[in-house]
Amino acid sequence: MSQVKIDKVCKKFGDFEAVKNFSLEIQDGEFIVLVGPSGCGKTTLLRMVAGLETVTSGEIFIDEAQITHMPPKKRDIAMVFQNYALYPHMNVYKNLAFALKLRKMPKPEIKETVKKTADLLGIGDFLNRFPNQLSGGQKQRVALGRAIVRQPKVFLFDEPLSNLDAKLRGSMRAEILDIHQRLNNTSIYVTHDQLEAMTMGTRIIIMKDGAIQQNGTPQEIYNNPVNKFVAGFIGSPAMNVMSCTIKEETGNLMAVNKGMNLTIPAEKTTGLTSYIDQDVYLGLRPEHISDLAGNATKADNSTFKAFVRLVEPLGSEQLIHLEAEDQRFIARIDPRSHITYGETLDFQAQMASATFFDGKTEERIV
């Protein structure tokens, strides 16, 4: 259907730079998720694509056509808002039909299109109801329907699920994805929820302070975060990050912290040799810390002793909160291991999966 190209876009509110030199190309049919903490500029960027916010500098194209300074009504873009933004004085049918009516579509055709869309979303029975007679989930479906019904070039979603409760959010997530797979529209989805980003995006853009931190598939971002911020932002529970010093001992590189001496495997050492005797950050995902319970492996130089502060059994796994010296970690561990509060045990760090970040720039080393 359509591609979107955002070229060196900046947005200033007075002295405050909300979006800095932002460039991004979105291919036809992609589902792009913009994610970041609040105030990172993701919503501003979305609103600039929609035309609701002016662009300070830079250009935006849809299908090679320059739309940077086009009013919203001419852009052929649909947006789903966080608070639904349904027309309160129109029933569901009229909400869906409004845009078609403005386009002077003949009445029978409007009727058919609205009906098809409503059936797709399972709101066919509510067409005569008014927005205040609908539940949150139903309202969100109508808002989706209003966007779908006119087959726009690009779909924009501005945190559409954050007003729903957790359970509904899960099912709506699946529903939006399902619709996307059926219609294959180019979509830009803004959220602050990393779980939504991971599960929905064909590509994720992580933003902070108005700039892109990383752009990649969910897997790439999870496995290879470019910096400490991304590592901490994606994944739940977050990646364990601790500061340590790189030392060389008997030909091996070690990550050293009070009470902890972890050997760095050979395949990781390449980038780290220049950091000897310097401070770095060591990042370990919770699933890369394991207990020794099942294994006969004795404590070796990739293990450390830690105190169990809290055990969170989640059924399919358990999260163990650990404390070693001043550092705190979370480990994701097989639910069959019997670990209880107050124990001090040996845990193994899977250093082959570890990530290292520069101590000053916080950029990834290896």
Residues in contact with other proteins by CB under 8 A are: 50-52, 54, 66, 68-73, 75, 77-79, 81-83, 85-89, 98-99, 102-103, 146, 150
AA identity, residue 199? T
Q: How far is the CB of 53 from other proteins (least distance, A)?
A: 10
Residue where the block lists tokens 């190309």: 25
Looking at the Cβ atoms of 97 and 282, the one nearer to other proteins is 97
Q: Where are the alpha helices (DSSP H) in the chain?
A: 42-50, 92-102, 107-121, 136-148, 166-183, 194-200, 218-223, 228-233, 266-269
Q: How far is the CB of 143 from other proteins (least distance, A)?
A: 8
What burial class does residue 303 get, using C-beta atoms within 10 Å of its C-beta: 0-12 exposed, 13-18 middle, 19+ buried?
Answer: buried
Q: How far is the CB of 154 from other proteins (least distance, A)?
A: 11
Q: How far is the CB of 110 from other proteins (least distance, A)?
A: 13
Looking at the Cβ atoms of 70 and 241, the one nearer to other proteins is 70
Looking at the Cβ atoms of 67 and 226, the one nearer to other proteins is 67
For residue 101, the 8-state DSSP code is H
The CA-to-CA distance between both ends of the chain, in Å, stands at: 39
Looking at the Cβ atoms of 75 and 288, the one nearer to other proteins is 75
Looking at the Cβ atoms of 156 and 308, the one nearer to other proteins is 156
Looking at the Cβ atoms of 38 and 316, the one nearer to other proteins is 38
Q: How far is the CB of 48 from other proteins (least distance, A)?
A: 12
Sheet holding 355-358, edge to edge: 260-264, 252-257, 240-249, 279-284, 355-358
Alpha-carbon gap, residue 45 to 55, rounded angstroms: 9
Q: How far is the CB of 89 from other proteins (least distance, A)?
A: 4
Alpha-carbon gap, residue 55 to 65, rounded angstroms: 16
Alpha-carbon gap, residue 190 to 69, rounded angstroms: 22
